[in-house]
């Protein structure tokens, strides 16, 4: 009998059974104590909603815009590395599901499928996320490839100059490329569905890097390159250079502090994402939803403010919108769906989140997402600036 999937947690449990441990743990973990990772999710639960009754609930719409792009709901697929290891051709499948639903898909620099793979399998512009490497010639070529593919926005990640210590990854030998230890091989053998999918695709390496960097022709010589490439010297001057080279819509990801939000405005970016990298970098940092109101208060009239971190339901999306976010991003939620059921699973995630968002908006007395504000929240239960 087929399992009845009703929420994101159902898909997480299914993904945990179907995805090899090293790749599941990579998606479902944080740094150090994982305190910030857990707070991203639990802090949403502290925020309470005000139910309204005897309100006409017909004609509801969650449609809005993110950086000028029409979206079916204020949600985008977040950039996540190694997505194609959660499920064969994972980035392609997720991009197709997002396109069919009418929301943006963001491809990571550290994806398995390449920019060109996504372009060949979709018909609408997707977004591309950029990590800044020491090899600036490679970065320039990467930006040019994103431009050539017609990407609708560049998402520049600012909070991964150095990598946080993630204990599960260290214990599993998760690296670039992943270490095939005996324990990992034995675990993979217990995931036949995943294994058959991987055997059926040629996409098993970092498609944006291998073959595009001098001296990196396959996974065997990738490790040394990646170990030294994330650039700790990244600064606001680099943002200016990247903006000029790119020439299109620029979104800055990884903003947690009001002062950095003001610098993001000064950089001329089109939007910023309040994000702590899913609790995978600085453990002990604020949750994203807790950091959001102060940043909206400081710069929300000057730049579009988005957020990610901890979103597991449509109610979470609504709460973020109520606190001023013009858009949200889902990372782990879509990865659970992908690992569980491939493209169908990602589509299921989007359907679940949309239904929860739509129904909760109605219960709170609104029929249009654009009219939602903090008046739908119970005073004293939500963070303020």
Q: Is 280 annotated as a binding residue?
A: yes
Residues in the chain: 385
**CA separation for the pair 254, 252 (Å, rounded):** 7
- Whether residue 337 contacts residue 360, with contact meaning beta carbons closer than 8 Å, is answered with no
CA distance 359 to 363: 6
Q: Is residue 230 within 8 Å of residue 209, measured between CB atoms?
A: no
Question: Does 308 carry a binding-site annotation?
Answer: yes
Q: Any known ligand binding at 129?
A: yes
Query: What are residue 155's phi and psi, to 5 degrees?
Result: -105, 110
Cα angle: 175, vertex 84, 163; to 5 degrees: 35
122 is in an annotated binding site: no
The active-site residue out of 167, 212, 277, 354 is 277
167 is in an annotated binding site: no
Q: Is 80 labelled as part of a ligand binding site?
A: yes
State the burial class of residue 359 (Cβ atoms within 10 Å of its Cβ: 0-12, 13-18, 19+). middle
Q: What is the DSSP string of 242-291?
A: HHHHH-S-EEEEEE-SHHHHHHHHHTT-SEEEE--GGGTSSTTPPPHHHH
How big is the CA angle at 53 (ends 48 and 57), to the nearest 5 degrees?
Answer: 100
Is 21 annotated in some ligand binding site? Answer: no
339 known ligand binder: no
Was 352 annotated as part of a binding site? Answer: no
Is 336 a known ligand-binding residue?
A: no
The answer to the question of whether 217 is labelled as a binding residue is no
Task: Tell me if 267 is assigned to a ligand binding site.
Answer: no
Torsion from C-alpha of 7, 78, 199, 218, nearest 10 degrees? -160
Q: Which residues pair with 308 in a beta bridge?
A: 329
Is 52 assigned to a binding site? no
Please indicate whether residue 277 is annotated as part of the active site: yes
The annotation status of 38 as a binding-site residue, yes or no, is no
Q: Per the annotation, where are the binding residues for FMN?
A: 79-81, 108, 129, 157, 253, 275, 308-312, 331-332
Q: Per the annotation, where are the binding residues for glyoxylate?
A: 26, 131, 166, 277, 280
Q: Per the annotation, where are the binding residues?
A: 26, 79-81, 108, 129, 131, 157, 166, 253, 275, 277, 280, 308-312, 331-332
Residues with catalytic function: 277
């Amino acid at each position: 009998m087929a399992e009845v999937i009703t929420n994101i947690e159902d898909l997480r449990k299914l993904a945990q059974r179907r995805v090899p441990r090293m790749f599941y743990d990579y998606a479902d973990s944080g740094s150090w104590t994982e305190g910030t990772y857990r707070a991203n999710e639990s802090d949403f639960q502290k925020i309470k909603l005000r139910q309204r009754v005897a309100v006409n609930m017909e004609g509801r719409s969650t449609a809005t815009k993110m950086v000028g792009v029409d979206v079916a709901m204020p949600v985008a697929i977040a950039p996540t590395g190694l997505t194609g290891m959660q499920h064969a051709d994972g980035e392609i499948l997720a991009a197709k599901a997002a396109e069919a639903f009418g929301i943006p898909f963001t491809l990571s620099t550290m994806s398995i499928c390449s920019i060109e793979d996504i372009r060949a399998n979709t018909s609408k512009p997707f977004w591309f996320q950029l990590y800044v490497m020491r090899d600036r010639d490679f970065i320039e070529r990467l930006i040019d490839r994103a431009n050539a593919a017609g990407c609708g926005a560049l998402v520049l990640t600012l909070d991964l100059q150095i990598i946080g210590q993630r204990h599960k990854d260290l214990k599993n030998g998760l690296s670039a490329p992943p270490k095939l230890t005996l324990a990992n091989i034995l675990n993979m053998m217990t995931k036949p569905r995943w294994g058959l999918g991987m055997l059926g695709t040629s996409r098993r390496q970092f498609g944006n890097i291998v073959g595009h960097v001098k001296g990196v022709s396959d996974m065997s010589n990738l490790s040394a390159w990646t170990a030294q490439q994330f650039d700790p010297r990244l600064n606001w001057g680099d943002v200016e250079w990247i903006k000029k080279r790119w020439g299109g819509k620029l979104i800055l990801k990884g903003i947690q502090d009001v002062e950095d939000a003001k610098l993001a405005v000064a950089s001329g970016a089109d939007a910023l994402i309040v994000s702590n990298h899913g609790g995978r970098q600085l453990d002990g940092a604020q949750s994203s939803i807790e950091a959001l109101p102060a940043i909206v208060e400081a710069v929300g009239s000057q730049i579009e403010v988005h957020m990610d971190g901890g979103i597991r339901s449509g109610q979470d999306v609504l709460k973020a919108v109520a606190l001023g976010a013009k858009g949200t991003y889902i990372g782990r939620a879509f990865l659970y769906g992908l690992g569980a059921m491939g493209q169908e699973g990602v589509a299921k995630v989007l359907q679940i989140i949309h239904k929860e968002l739509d129904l909760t908006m109605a219960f709170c007395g609104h029929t249009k997402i654009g009219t939602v504000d903090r008046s739908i929240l119970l005073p004293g239960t939500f963070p303020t600036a």
